[in-house]
Amino acid sequence: MVMIFGVFDGVHDGHRSLFREARSHGAPLMAVVTRDDVALRLKGRMPKRALTLRIADLMREPEIDAAIEGDAELGSWGVVRRHKPSHIVVGYDQEKLRADLERHLGEFDWQPVIVTAAPHKPDTHHSSLMG
């Protein structure tokens, strides 16, 4: 199983590029969707779309096999421990997520491969630029 993380507040072509790249590392592909309160702490603003709608949007994407709610506690990695993905693909702009995940790898009883996805038109297809 391959796992990705994000707020996914309006799926765009940059996300779809991430989905395709993540899927190239195996299947099924599970998207872990950031809870509203965690998104507020990370980004300083609430998502525009409710968590249930963001999950439903992802489930309509052909590359996504499962979309689940993320951990309530930032950095706990409970969702990773429960699902034990073989690969975790992070976006090119998720350096902090990757660094925190790497700090916790020694706590896992298996070693997932962590991959950073290539950017897809980052000047026009980044969520923060798309309103």
Structural domain tally of the chain? 1
List strands edge to edge, sheet with 66-69: 66-69, 29-33, 2-6, 87-90, 113-116
Could you tell me which residue, 130 or 20, shows the higher pLDDT?
Answer: 20
Q: What is the largest CA-CA distance in the chain?
A: 40
pTM > 0.85: yes or no = yes
List Cα–Cα distances, 49 to 34, 36, 65, in angstroms: 12, 9, 21
> Confidence band (pLDDT; 50, 70, 90) for 123?
low
Q: Return the CATH number at 89.
A: 3.40.50.620
Whole-number average pLDDT of the chain: 92
How do residues 19-62 score in pLDDT, each as one tens digit?
A: 999 999 999 999 999 999 999 998 899 999 999 999 999 999 99
| Residue 121 pLDDT grade (very low, low, confident, very high; cuts 50, 70, 90) | confident
What residue numbers bound the domain in which 45 lies?
A: 2-129
